[in-house]
């Protein structure tokens, strides 16, 4: 039988530039570059290339370029080469197609249809370089009203636990197992430096990260990996993971080959066996049951930590969020369908869920309509690509955002989408020691800190331009947004006017 | 869990109210829960446990989370019916119930021991990774779901009578013993650990993800002491013993620790 699989990329080597040093042979863990004897240029096995750019960027003479495989399809917009190849793969193996990173399909990106406002003449703009500009936010539940003893200047009503973020940008959940310890370390160090939170994901808290735990969100997912009283009490916040934007409605399988001794110790599961996160939490079948889990975590942490609940952005996200708030969730995290993942079935990643922009706007509106928006915090994630997206998300109603792909890109990820194979040439989505070594956590942390600092300056500039001097005043301030190229229905859901109005 | 099974709804007070385990000295302090909200109830229990190691709870009326994260050296003796999530995240403590328990006994339990002189509801031992749970009577659905072993830790659940469907779902480690009948969809997605059954599974209950066999000597080394412990705890109130029958048990083990290894392609 002829193998129907075509290479996706072509590795092109400039014969004049290549000095035959062999660096590409060593750098590519996919074994694309094959050395030839006598100091001549290596040969490439195109089929294995995933376009991670490792060889391109480490080649001392810039002799390498990766291009798309030049094969054309039959010209059909329906039976594209990609569908042909997918069918061939499944016909050969009978397997479920696996993919990584976020939904790449050209669905509308609403961020790109939302323009920001700036002050002119009336309501002067503020120069953030001269004037204070508050980027600090607090996450947690809030009482409906505050009772204050005005004489003593003290609070009479008890305030639920809060976490303080110096910047409204957190790092999304990434478990040890799906990413390397050095990745988590870099994010943890960056979070401490920036005064924000990283999220250990559902794979437990590695002992080397315990010293950063006061900046950690500890996650409780259906597999309950690594969850014990010590873990729950170590973090700044506890998050119940119901769903993830990249794979709404399904659980996760971390394949046995990624369950190394260290991963097994941290997850508290056997080494080498598949780590299976069931699709549902089997103690949650309703909003009432969610309440039960929220309060079991509150009991286990003596009501000292905010409890967040994370869902994937799906059709009824607004109604679900309302239920979550009533179930005792203090932070509602909504993850859009473009959010990244270490591994998700391709058909789920590409077809299930909705854009976070719409879900976020709908959730914020619903909670406001019900008069409970002020009792909870809302966090949005799933394709926050720049400081402008952060500003848009906050104006649509988020208290803060979570970023996963962006900090990984800062660490070297080139979005090749091959994380699931565990051979990430950048030392991120891998457990292979020789690859992990490539990611220096100190250097990585510095790059992530640089990125977030730069974004924060930009956020301050944009807020200043609007005449706003605190993130708190931007939250849900949809007058600062105008839509372009959107239908009335879309504008309606987003709660924004069209540009020109 | 409401909708999961009718079994858990039938959580009536039945069975012996006397304690026969005799492992604990007389509790040093008593707390009466009555109609207290769980938050207040648990706070009072914690305060009592801060003062003494052994606490008896009286008139317990379905308060949730009793024994939550209970550390080693602490003991609760519960009179009445504790609510869901009894001994959740328990970390070495001991909880004894003189009555029935509800759903999710030992949820994500780390270490310690739960003894129920009665039956319990659904999802007993959910995600347990250590410690032991002895249920004198039956249990609801989805018991032992996602139990997991790790290092030297081997969680154990022994259920004295019938167990509901989906027993041992996604089980990744540990030992589950059932002395009565089991339901449908037994051990679905099981990829670790072992289930010991006194009676053969219902026809069609097992999928080819698991293997059914008779116990051998290695199994008996694990099973016999558990049955002996069950007898020690409950024989007096039940009027019969089970440990002599260890060699007649069946064993259910996973066919693979990598059930989904070939499910995906890239
Ligand atoms: S997989 Fe990465 S390192 Fe290997 S040839 Fe392709 S781009 Fe270069
Ligand atoms: S983490 Fe690594 S494997 Fe995953 S997309 Fe980025 S570069 Fe590729």
Of B85, B91, B265, the CB nearest to A229: B91
- In B, minimum Cα distance to A271 occurs at B150
A423 touches ligand 1 (CB under 6 Å): no
- Segment B1-26 shows an average pLDDT of 42
Residue-wise pLDDT tens digits, A21-70: 999 999 999 999 999 987 789 999 999 999 999 999 999 999 999 999 99
SS (H, E, C) A308-326: EEEEECCCCHHHHHHHHHH
Ligand in nearest proximity to the CA of A63: 1
Chain A residues within an 8 Å CB radius of B123: 282-283
Q: Are residues A51 and A175 in the same domain?
A: no
Of A253, A264, A289, the CB nearest to B150: A264
Among B108, B128, B155, most A C-beta atoms within 10 A, so best to mutate, is B108
Of A93, A99, A229, the CB nearest to B69: A229
Residue-wise pLDDT tens digits, B105-150: 999 999 999 999 999 999 999 999 999 999 999 999 999 999 999 8
pLDDT of residue B261: 74
Q: Are residues A173 and A89 in the same domain?
A: no
Q: Are residues A427 and A325 in the same domain?
A: yes
pLDDT at position A361 over 50? yes
pLDDT of residue A377: 98
Q: Above pLDDT 70, what percent of chain B? A: 90
Tell me, what DSSP letter sits at residue B193? Answer: E
pLDDT of residue A399: 98
How are beta strands B192-197 and B210-214 bridged, if at all?
unpaired
Distance A402 CA to ligand 1 centre (A): 29
A32 touches ligand 1 (CB under 6 Å): yes
Q: How many domains does chain A have?
A: 2
Chain A residues within an 8 Å CB radius of B263: 95-96, 253
**Distant-in-sequence, close-in-space partners of B7: CB < 8 Å, separation ≥ 6:** B121, B122, B138, B139, B140, B141, B164
Q: How far is B264 from chain A (nearest CA, A)?
A: 5
Burial of B65 (0-12, 13-18, 19+ CB in 10 A): buried
Contact yes or no for B106/A283 (Cβ under 8 A): no
Tell me, what DSSP letter sits at residue A142? Answer: -
Of B88, B129, B264, the CB nearest to A95: B264
Across the interface, do B127 and A253 touch by the CB < 8 Å criterion?
Answer: no
- Give the Cα separation of A183 and A197 in Å (integer): 14
A319 found inside a domain: yes
Residue-wise pLDDT tens digits, B193-252: 999 999 999 999 998 899 999 999 999 999 999 999 999 999 999 999 999 999 999 999
pLDDT of residue B25: 58
Q: Are residues A38 and A176 in the same domain?
A: no
Residue-wise pLDDT tens digits, A207-233: 999 999 999 999 999 999 999 999 999
Segments making up each domain of chain B, as ranges: 5-13+77-254
- Segment A254-272 shows an average pLDDT of 86
Ligand in nearest proximity to the CA of A435: 2
- The confidence band for A145, taking pLDDT boundaries of 50, 70 and 90, is confident
- Return the number of CB contacts < 8 Å for A and B: 148
Task: Give me the domain span that covers residue A259.
Answer: 166-459
Across the interface, do A296 and B68 touch by the CB < 8 Å criterion?
Answer: yes
- Segment A104-132 shows an average pLDDT of 93
DSSP element (H, E) containing A411: helix A405-411
**Distant-in-sequence, close-in-space partners of B123: CB < 8 Å, separation ≥ 6:** A282, A283, B1, B4, B103, B104, B107, B140, B141, B142, B143, B145
Distance A435 CA to ligand 2 centre (A): 12
A335 found inside a domain: yes
B192 touches chain A (CB under 8 A): yes
- The confidence band for B28, taking pLDDT boundaries of 50, 70 and 90, is confident
pLDDT of residue B16: 38
Across the interface, do A255 and B261 touch by the CB < 8 Å criterion?
Answer: yes
- Give the Cα separation of A356 and A317 in Å (integer): 10
- Give the Cα separation of A464 and A133 in Å (integer): 8
In Å, what is the CA distance from A118 to each residue of A113, A239, A387? 17, 36, 16
A40 found inside a domain: yes
pLDDT at position B7 over 70? no
A421 touches chain B (CB under 8 A): yes
Domain boundary among A95, A121, A137: A95
Nearest CA to ligand 1 atom 2: A52
The backbone region for B115, taken as left when phi is positive above 0, alpha when psi lies in -120 to 50, beta otherwise, is beta
Q: Are residues A90 and A173 in the same domain?
A: no
A149 touches chain B (CB under 8 A): no
pTM of model > 0.90: yes
A129 found inside a domain: no
Q: What is the mean pLDDT of chain B?
A: 90
Domain boundary among A95, A110, A136: A95
- The confidence band for B1, taking pLDDT boundaries of 50, 70 and 90, is very low
A153 found inside a domain: no
- Give the Cα separation of B43 and B14 in Å (integer): 28
3-state DSSP assignment of residue A148: strand
Q: Among A342, A405, A426, say which to mutate for ligand 2: greatest number of ligand atoms within 8 Å of CB.
A: A426
Q: Are residues A182 and A295 in the same domain?
A: yes
In CATH, what class is B5-13+77-254? mainly beta
CB A213: neighbour CB atoms within 10 A? 17
Q: Which CATH number goes with the domain that contains A238?
A: 3.20.20.70
pLDDT of residue B26: 63
Across the interface, do A96 and B265 touch by the CB < 8 Å criterion?
Answer: yes
Ligand 2: residues within 6 Å at CB? Answer: A 52, 100-101, 408, 413-419, 424, 426, 428-429
A424 touches ligand 1 (CB under 6 Å): no
Ligand in nearest proximity to the CA of A29: 1
Q: Which CATH number goes with the domain that contains A57?
A: 3.30.70.20
Residue-wise pLDDT tens digits, B40-53: 999 999 999 999 99
B3-22: buried (b, 16+ CB within 10 Å) or exposed (e) per residue?
Answer: ebbebbeebeeebeeebebe
Across the interface, do B172 and A264 touch by the CB < 8 Å criterion?
Answer: no
Domain boundary among A95, A110, A131: A95
């Amino acid at each position: 039988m002829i193998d129907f699989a075509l290479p996706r990329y072509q590795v092109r080597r400039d014969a004049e530039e290549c000095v035959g040093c062999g660096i590409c042979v060593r750098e590519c863990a996919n074994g694309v570059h094959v050395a030839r004897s006598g100091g001549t240029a290596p040969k490439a096995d195109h089929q294995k290339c995933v376009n991670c750019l490792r060889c391109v960027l480490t080649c001392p003479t810039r002799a390498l370029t990766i291009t798309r495989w030049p094969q054309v399809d039959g010209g059909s917009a329906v039976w594209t080469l990609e569908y042909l190849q997918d069918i061939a793969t499944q016909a050969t193996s009978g397997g479920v197609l696996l993919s990584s990173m976020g939904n790449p399909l050209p669905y509308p990106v609403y961020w790109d249809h939302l323009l920001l406002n700036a002050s002119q003449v009336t309501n002067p703009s503020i120069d953030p370089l001269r004037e204070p500009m508050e980027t600090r936010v607090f996450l947690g539940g809030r009482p409906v009203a505050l009772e204050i003893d005005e004489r003593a200047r003290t609070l009479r009503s008890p305030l639920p636990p809060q976490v303080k973020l110096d910047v409204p940008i957190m790092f999304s959940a990434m478990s040890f197992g799906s990413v390397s310890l050095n990745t988590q370390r870099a994010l943890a160090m960056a979070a401490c430096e920036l005064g924000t939170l990283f999220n250990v994901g559902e794979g437990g808290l590695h002992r080397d990260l315990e010293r950063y735990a006061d900046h950690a969100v500890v996650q409780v997912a259906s597999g309950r990996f690594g969850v014990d009283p010590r873990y729950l009490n170590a973090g700044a916040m506890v998050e119940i993971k119901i769903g993830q934007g990249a794979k709404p409605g399904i659980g996760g399988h971390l394949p046995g080959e990624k369950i190394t001794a260290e991963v097994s110790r941290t997850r508290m599961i056997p080494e080498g066996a598949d780590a299976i996160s069931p699709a549902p939490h089997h103690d949650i079948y309703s909003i009432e049951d969610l309440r039960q889990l929220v309060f079991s975590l509150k009991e286990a942490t003596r009501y000292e930590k905010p409890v967040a609940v994370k869902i994937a952005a799906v059709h009824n996200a607004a109604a679900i969020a309302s239920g979550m708030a009533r179930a005792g969730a203090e932070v509602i995290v909504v993850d859009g369908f473009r959010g990244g993942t270490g591994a998700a079935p391709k058909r789920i990643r590409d077809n299930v869920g909705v854009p976070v922009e719409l879900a976020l706007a709908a959730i914020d509106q619903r909670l406001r309509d019900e008069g409970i928006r002020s009792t909870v915090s809302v966090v949005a994630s799933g394709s926050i690509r720049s400081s402008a997206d952060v500003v848009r998300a906050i104006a649509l109603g988020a208290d803060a955002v979570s970023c996963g792909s962006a900090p990984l890109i800062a660490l070297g990820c080139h979005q090749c989408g091959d994380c699931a194979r565990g051979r990430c040439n950048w030392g991120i989505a891998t457990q292979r020691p020789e690859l992990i070594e490539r990611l220096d956590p100190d250097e990585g942390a510095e790059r992530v800190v640089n990125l977030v600092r730069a974004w924060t300056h930009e956020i301050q500039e944009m807020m200043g331009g609007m005449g706003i001097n605190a993130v708190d005043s931007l939250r849900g301030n949809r007058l600062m947004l105008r839509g372009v190229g959107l239908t009335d229905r879309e504008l309606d859901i987003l709660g924004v006017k069209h540009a020109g109005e | 869990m409401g909708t999961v099974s009718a079994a858990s709804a039938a959580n009536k007070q039945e069975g012996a109210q006397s304690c026969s385990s005799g492992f604990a000295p007389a509790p040093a302090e008593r707390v009466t829960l009555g109609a207290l909200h769980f938050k207040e109830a648990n706070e009072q229990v914690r305060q009592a446990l801060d003062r003494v190691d052994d606490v008896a709870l009286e008139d317990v009326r379905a308060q949730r989370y009793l024994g939550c994260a209970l550390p080693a050296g602490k003991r609760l003796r519960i009179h009445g019916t504790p609510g869901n999530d009894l001994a959740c995240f328990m970390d070495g403590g001991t909880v004894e119930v003189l009555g029935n328990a509800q759903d999710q006994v030992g949820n994500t339990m780390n270490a310690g021991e739960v003894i129920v002189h009665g039956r319990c509801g659904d999802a007993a031992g959910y995600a347990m990774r250590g410690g032991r749970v002895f249920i004198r009577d039956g249990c609801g659905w989805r018991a032992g779901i996602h139990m997991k072993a790790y290092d030297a830790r081997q969680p154990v659940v022994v259920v004295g009578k019938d167990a509901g469907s989906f027993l041992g779902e996604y089980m990744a480690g540990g030992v589950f013993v059932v002395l009565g009948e089991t339901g449908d969809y037994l051990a679905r997605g099981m990829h670790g650990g072992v289930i010991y059954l006194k009676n053969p599974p219902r026809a069609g209950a097992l999928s080819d993800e698991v293997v059914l066999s008779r116990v051998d000597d290695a199994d008996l080394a694990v099973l016999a002491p558990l049955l002996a412990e069950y007898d020690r705890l409950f024989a007096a109130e039940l009027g019969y013993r089970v440990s002599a029958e260890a060699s007649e048990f069946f064993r259910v083990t996973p066919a693979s620790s990598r059930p989904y290894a070939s499910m995906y392609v890239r």
